[in-house]
Amino acid sequence: MDPDEKLCAETWVKSSSGHESLNTDSNNRPFTDFDRHHPKWEESPFNGCGVRTLGQQFSGFEGSFASDVDSQRQKKDLHGKQIPEAHESGYMQNWDPSAMLNNLLFLEKKIHQLQDLVQLVVGRRGQAMNQADEILVQQQQLITADLTSIIVQLISTAGSLLPSLKNSESLASQLGQFGGIATQLAGVTDNVVPNKMEDRHDPTGVSEDHDGFKRDANLRMHMRGHGDEYKTPAALAKPHKESSSDPIFIKRYSCPYVGCKRNKDHKKFQPLKTILCVKNHYKRTHCDKNYTCSRCHTKKFSVIADLKTHEKHCGRDKWLCSCGTTFSRKDKLFGHIALFQGHTPAIPHEGAGAWPSDQGQSRSEATNKVEQLDFNSCQGLMEVERSGDDPSNYFSPLGFDTSSLAGFQEFPRPLFEDAESSFSFFLSGSGDYSPKNGRYAAPNDLE
């Protein structure tokens, strides 16, 4: 036995112990509390993933198994529910204890019947893997039919337990709240998902999948995977109200890791939609990350597909936030900085090759050059100052061919005019001209 099975057993114990507390539920919205006290999460043998079924007769044993359990719970629920109602009800006078006792005995019998059936299911389950699909389907249908009839009886009897019509109506409405289909007895439902959850996963009927699609195109793409027969307009059409009278199955999965938000025991439980989701979620969240990106050697993943996705754009994330997060797209970066106070788009320094424009780099290089040049001119200035007042000295570093530029001179400035140096002409020119040929000399040739 693997640990999953043990988990499964534990759950069963838990669920049975949960029944007692139900009695206190008498308000209009019993679901939340009910959910908390009454886990109906079956741990499936798949890799430690919980399976939860809404409705019955899904495409295999799990379905009937689950609905079976559901009905059991439902029945217990009704049973428990009735007592507090009787206490506070004003219709106690019409109450016939002996009839009720008969009914209860009948219910007990039926419960045993159900238990047997479930045991049968559990017994067959081991062989199920080896059997052909058709046989499986047949068996499932048989069991479903049995179950249905038993449950119908159960519920009608349970209804007759109620002392007055009004009370049974209120029960019916409660039933309606539970299952959403009060009249559909077969649909003994397990409405554990809070209403807003239901809203989110709007089931736009794909007959087998319960994924909703907002766009037609997405639905068609999805349906390709199911084969050609699903490509007809009828299959693609939005299911009618009538067809929704067929039980709607929404499977939800729980992560086996206790304390995880994806675990059913979590207060704000968020179920997982598919078994694959469970798998990936578990690996990503609760397992070691063994796959390291071969390019950046920093990013690690536990799901190989994630690694591949990362490798596709690794090193190409050119949009960088001041917090160090990189983004492949500008709008993603801006969305990020808009969200977090104090974050700004980072401007990489020179050498950051990934940045789209290297303008900053080239400019800073140029600035360096300028600084060099300025340095040269400073040297020139010192030279000029040292050379004293003789204006002819000013000319020497200029390097003009004196024959063509004869008579060039610097004007003396009145002192009051500017505080600035009067050497400015020579400053810039002096550094790089050699006196002889007017060509540029290397900075080293200055002295």
Q: Residue 253: in which H helix or E strand, if any? A: strand 252-254
Classify the phi-psi angles of 150: left when phi > 0, otherwise alpha if psi is within -120 to 50, otherwise beta.
alpha
Q: Which residue of 142, 296, 370, 382 would you call a contact of another protein, by CB under 8 A?
A: 370
Nearer to another protein, 131 or 408 (CB): 408
296 binds another protein (CB under 8 A): no
Which of residues 203 and 345 has its CB atom nearest to another protein in the complex?
345
Residues 382-401 that bind another protein (CB under 8 A): 398, 400
Q: Min. distance of Cβ 420 from another protein in angstroms?
A: 5
Task: Please choose, out of 62-70, 102-110, 171-179, 425-433, the segment that lies near another protein by the rule CB under 8 A.
Answer: 425-433
How would you list the strands of the sheet with 252-254, edge to edge? Answer: 42-43, 50-52, 252-254
Binders of another protein: how many residues, by CB under 8 A?
42
Q: d(Cα 169, Cα 171) in Å, to the nearest integer?
A: 5
Residue type (1 letter), 228: D
Closest separation between CB of residue 356 and another protein, Å? 9
296 versus 405: smaller Cβ distance to another protein: 405
Nearest C-alpha neighbor of 236 from the set 254, 246, 224: 224
Q: Does 445 bind another protein (CB under 8 A)?
A: no
CB nearer to another protein: pick between 121 and 346: 346
Amino acid at 359: Q
State the first-to-last Cα distance of the chain, in angstroms, to the nearest integer. 91
Site for another protein in 305-364 (CB under 8 A): 330-331, 334, 337-338, 342-345, 347, 359-360, 363
Rounded Cα distance, 180 and 162, in Å:
21
Coil, strand or helix at 291: strand
Q: What is the DSSP string of 38-59?
A: ----EEPSSTT-EEE-SSS--S
* Number of residues that make up the chain: 447
CB 67 within 8 A of CB 57: yes
Q: Which CB atom, from 287 or from 347, has the smaller least distance to another protein? A: 347
CB-wise, 169 or 385, nearer to another protein?
Answer: 385
Binds another protein (CB under 8 A): choice among 296, 366, 378, 382: 366
For another protein, the binding residue among 427, 434, 435, 446 (CB under 8 A) is 427
287 contacts another protein (rule: CB under 8 A): no
Cα 92 from Cα 88, distance rounded (Å): 9
| Residue of 133, 390, 417, 447 that binds another protein (CB under 8 A) | 417
Of 420 and 447, nearer to another protein (C-beta) is 420
Enclosing H/E stretch for 300? strand 300-301
Nearer to another protein, 231 or 329 (CB): 329
Least distance CB 90 / another protein (angstroms)? 58
From 404, 415, 436, 444, residue interacting with another protein (rule: CB under 8 A): 404
408 lies in the site for another protein, by CB under 8 A: yes
By CB under 8 A, tell whether 202 contacts another protein. Answer: no
Question: CB count, 10 Å around CB of 253?
Answer: 24
13 is a contact residue toward another protein (CB under 8 A): no
Spatial contact of 431 and 441, defined as CB atoms under 8 Å apart: no
Minimum distance from residue 375 beta carbon to another protein (Å): 12
Please give the helix or strand (H or E) that residue 314 lies within, else none: none
The continuous run of DSSP H or E covering 350 comes out as none
Please identify which residue in the block is written with the tokens 């790089």: 432
Closer residue to another protein in complex, CB, 215/411: 411
Tell me if 169 contacts another protein by CB under 8 A. no
Count how many Cα atoms sit within 13 Å of the Cα of residue 213 in the half-sphere of its side chain: 17
Cβ of residue 366: shortest distance to another protein, in angstroms?
A: 3
Indicate if the alpha-carbon torsion angle 38, 43, 49, 51 is positive or negative.
negative
Which residues of this protein are in contact with another protein, per CB under 8 A?
Answer: 330-331, 334, 337-338, 342-345, 347, 359-360, 363, 366-367, 369-370, 373, 398, 400, 404-411, 417-420, 424-429, 432-433, 438, 440
